[in-house]
Structure 1
Amino acid sequence: MDYQAPRGTQDILPEEQSYWRYVESKAAAIAARYGYSRIDTPTFEDARLFTRTVGEETDIVTKEMYTFQDRGGADLTLRPEGTAPVCRAYIEHGMASQPKPVKLYYLASIFRYDRPQAGRYREHHQFGFEVFGESDAAADAEVIDMAWSLYRELGITTLPVQLNSIGCPECRAAYLAALKDYYSTCIDTLCGDCKIRYGKNPLRLLDCKKPDCSVAASKAPHSVDFLCPDCKAHFDKLTAFMGAIAIPFEINHCLVRGLDYYSRTVFEIQPREEGAQSTIGGGGRYDNLIPQLGGEPTPAIGFATGIERIILNLKRQNIVVPALESPRFFLAALGEAAFIAAFKLAADLRRDGIPMFESLASRSLKAQLRQASGLGARYTLILGDAELEKGEILLRDMTSSEQRALPLDGLVSALKAL
């Protein structure tokens, strides 16, 4: 075969669609319950939106973005994450004038040039939600509760929420100084990437998953020990809310997330299934992102989860999802006149709201019944030239093989009653 899907992408085949519709419907239902409205942003954006917000020294910007020039010479980037585009739309469309908080959610494709692996694709899909205009820790707790509720209702068992506070720009300066001072004593043990991060973005040192770097990170100073009074009060209030709504959590001092725009709260959620110890969702607060893009100072917090990773864990945890509903009826035709009449009848029935399979070629009754069975039809309607003359149609129960005649006049009511 000459053509295949590009490496790191996948075709979502019909037999997989039940998982996708199940996850998407649960996500939309959760969002509605918490008062979120859907927003869809373009698949590509001005490249500067991401270099400015995600961070020029992050792996996403330096290694993973799909950036290209259009014919007008503009630098555009396929969306590598969902928050920055939603923030851009929030500013561009004057949403700051809406009653606060403004709650938005999205279901979107995300593009990153990364090493493909289970549950991680170069084109993958996310469900995410963002809250604008509320600085209180109650907003952080509600976002975490919403994320936790999504996994619970999907049936995925998870580990306790991993939680941390990385402070605000004011108190983070002292922490970064302490971090650099600590890492200066063990810089020779770090990987090549972390040696670069040491000089450009020391907070990212805590995020490296390579063994030697993880050992170093486990002994590093803790950001919560450097919080200013406001940030400490915010974090203490958040943990109190978490206890009040009985969501288990652990303080993870190495948790910083991979994007530069985060401040204060950061969190991640991992599946409990053995062999699946990778994050399926996470988020945090980004109070300085809106003004960074030219908007008015606006506190904000958000969360995103990968749909492919959710589906992977649904399968690993043997969670059965509802099958997609398919037409209950198959219309078989016998004879030239009946074939044309059946084609019209199928169209009329569909217009009356009755889903219908039909044979699109003249075949024997045996072949058509075999086709109906293979498609999973519950009933087969049989219209032959003889039935057409009598103004009736045969209804065959595909389970019991029993059949009876129904008048064509009033057929819609009869089928809807089944």
Structure 2
Amino acid sequence: MSEFSAPKGIPDYFPPASADFLAVRNALTDAAYRAGYGHIELPIFEETALFARGVGESTDVVSKEMYTFADRGGRTVTLRPEGTAGVMRAVIQHGLDRGQLPVKLCYSGPFFRYERPQAGRYRQLQQVGVEAIGVDDPALDAEVIAIADEGYKRLGLTGYRLDLTSLGDDTCRPQYRERLQEFLLGLDLDEPTRERARINPLRVLDDKRPEVREATADAPLMLDHLSDSAKDHFEQVKGHLDRLGVDYVVNPRLVRGLDYYTKTTFEFVHDGLGAQSGIGGGGRYDGLMKQIGGKQELSGIGFGIGVDRTVLALEAEGVSVAGVGRVDVFGVPMGAAAKAELVALAGELRAAGVKVDLAYGDRALKGAMKAADRSGARLALVLGDRELDERTIEIKDLTNGDQHKVPLDAALAEIRSRLGI
């Protein structure tokens, strides 16, 4: 047994499971790239103040879950717990907001939160995110939501739902906040919850404890107190989603765990995951840029999708996706001369876009064929001295067991034809 192991709550991804992980990440980012989103790479850590101001001091993320430490220069830095604040910082720092709007960006990678590890909840979580900054347009809100929905559908995921609401804007949210705060402070709540009600009452509606949910069952809801402009914005978002064929459920009690959300707010939920049912979500954040020091007050809309959670959702549905690392063809050479021939053929196939692996290490036929089965390849190529003398190669379909020989010089064309390449 190894002397070292991964830190608690931080998963390793390795073959064959890593193939599904990469397939999920690629499907989600590809959906964004097809909609004109450019790639951005973010720092793994930022100044702590960026997240404290951007995400919100009253959130669990900032108050309980951040990995914060002092660097060698005495500066306080934090491993990124989410992506939106970092993207907005980059947009401001590099003047992207002074160019064509909206600024449409996509990112992926690890994020860090100190939580109690359990299935679907890790201390290093993997996410794909998109942000569209600079235009307040309900059609853009619908586009962002539809990108996430498309990614899930392309993966073959079906057992999820989209919860949708509006958290209002500056014309109605302050009044609603007072009304909700008055209601909450009239309840018999524990002191930490009462303090949260004083700082950010909306966060109390996000409390998952049964006794708190029961106590707040009759709490006033934001959807019932929207201004005319916020209500019109929400109706337009729903109309665009209807035209895009994106199904949704209006959930008036939906509250995301970050303070910067306004207007359109959404979450994708998969009930097959138990308590950790959220697989992705996001919303609009109209005041964030000003909050973290931007000279302009540009609005934005975005999402973060959990790659880990999406993999678990696919497993719950019994859906397998072919990912990077799984090969199309597996070569089985019997002898040194056959190996030399198959090495050359593998190079030609890879140049033609076919994913190929070989049985290395001079294995016996039985062991090499077991490796071919484990590889997930569709075709196995078997080549020995007899086939070399005949200038043929045996092609075996590993999905149904059919096999036959073809001329060696016709193997490339035959394999491409079988794979539809």
TM-score class, shorter: 0.7 to 0.9
Structure 1 residue 36 and structure 2 residue 37: aligned? yes
The 2-side partners of 1:155 and 1:139 are apart by 25
Structure 1 residue 260 and structure 2 residue 262: aligned? no
Number of the residue aligned with 1:47: 48
Number of the residue aligned with 1:178: 179
Moved more, 223-232 or 195-204: 223-232
8 A contact 2:21–2:323 mirrored in 1: no
* Cα distance change, pair 412–162 in 1 and its aligned pair in 2 (3 A): closer
Seq. identity, %:
38
What is the TM-score normalised by the length of structure 1?
0.85
- Structure 1 gap ranges (5+): none
Structure 1 residue 396 and structure 2 residue 394: aligned? yes
Which runs of structure 2 are paired with 1:284-295 in the superposition (5 Å)? 284-295=283-294
The 2-side partners of 1:38 and 1:365 are apart by 45
Which runs of structure 2 are paired with 1:181-196 in the superposition (5 Å)? 181-186=182-187, 188=188, 190-196=189-195
Deviation at 1:259, TM superposition (A): 0.8
8 A contact 1:331–1:358 mirrored in 2: yes
8 A contact 1:157–1:271 mirrored in 2: no
Which whole-Å deviations, capped at 9, do the CAs of 1:152-199 have from their partners, x for residues lacking one? 33332355532222222453222221112111221x2x3454122023
- Structure 2 gap ranges (5+): none
Which runs of structure 2 are paired with 1:82-101 in the superposition (5 Å)? 82-101=83-102
How many pairs does the alignment contain? 408
Which whole-Å deviations, capped at 9, do the CAs of 1:206-228 have from their partners, x for residues lacking one? 11010111122221112234333
Structure 1 residue 203 and structure 2 residue 230: aligned? no
Moved more, 374-383 or 290-299: 374-383
Number of the residue aligned with 1:22: 23
SS at match of 1:284: strand
Number of the residue aligned with 1:77: 78
Number of the residue aligned with 2:145: 144
Number of the residue aligned with 1:234: 233
Opposite residue 307 of structure 1, the aligned amino acid is V
Deviation at 1:286, TM superposition (A): 0.5
8 A contact 1:394–1:405 mirrored in 2: yes
The 1-side partners of 2:404 and 2:227 are apart by 77
Deviation at 1:61, TM superposition (A): 0.6
Which runs of structure 2 are paired with 1:12-411 in the superposition (5 Å)? 12-158=13-159, 160-186=161-187, 188=188, 190-271=189-270, 273=272, 275=274, 278-295=277-294, 296-322=296-322, 325-326=326-327, 328-330=329-331, 332=333, 334=335, 338=337, 345=344, 349=348, 352=351, 356-362=356-362, 375=375, 378-382=380-384, 395-398=393-396, 406=408
Deviation at 1:346, TM superposition (A): 7.1
SS at match of 1:76: strand
Moved more, 167-176 or 124-133: 167-176
Which whole-Å deviations, capped at 9, do the CAs of 1:325-370 have from their partners, x for residues lacking one? 41524253536xx499569747865785575544544555666566
The 2-side partners of 1:249 and 1:339 are apart by 57
RMSD of aligned Cα (Å): 3.2
The 2-side partners of 1:412 and 1:103 are apart by 42
8 A contact 1:217–1:254 mirrored in 2: no
Moved more, 191-200 or 131-140: 191-200
Which whole-Å deviations, capped at 9, do the CAs of 1:22-68 have from their partners, x for residues lacking one? 32232133213322222121211221111110011210011101112
8 A contact 1:349–1:355 mirrored in 2: no
Larger Rg: 1
The 2-side partners of 1:137 and 1:369 are apart by 55
SS at match of 2:16: helix
Opposite residue 304 of structure 2, the aligned amino acid is A
* Cα distance change, pair 191–211 in 1 and its aligned pair in 2 (3 A): farther
SS at match of 2:150: helix
The 1-side partners of 2:249 and 2:150 are apart by 18
Moved more, 367-376 or 56-65: 367-376
Deviation at 1:260, TM superposition (A): 1.1
Opposite residue 382 of structure 1, the aligned amino acid is G
Deviation at 1:264, TM superposition (A): 1.8
The 2-side partners of 1:343 and 1:395 are apart by 10
* Cα distance change, pair 357–203 in 1 and its aligned pair in 2 (3 A): closer
The 1-side partners of 2:160 and 2:347 are apart by 52
Opposite residue 393 of structure 2, the aligned amino acid is L
The 2-side partners of 1:231 and 1:146 are apart by 23
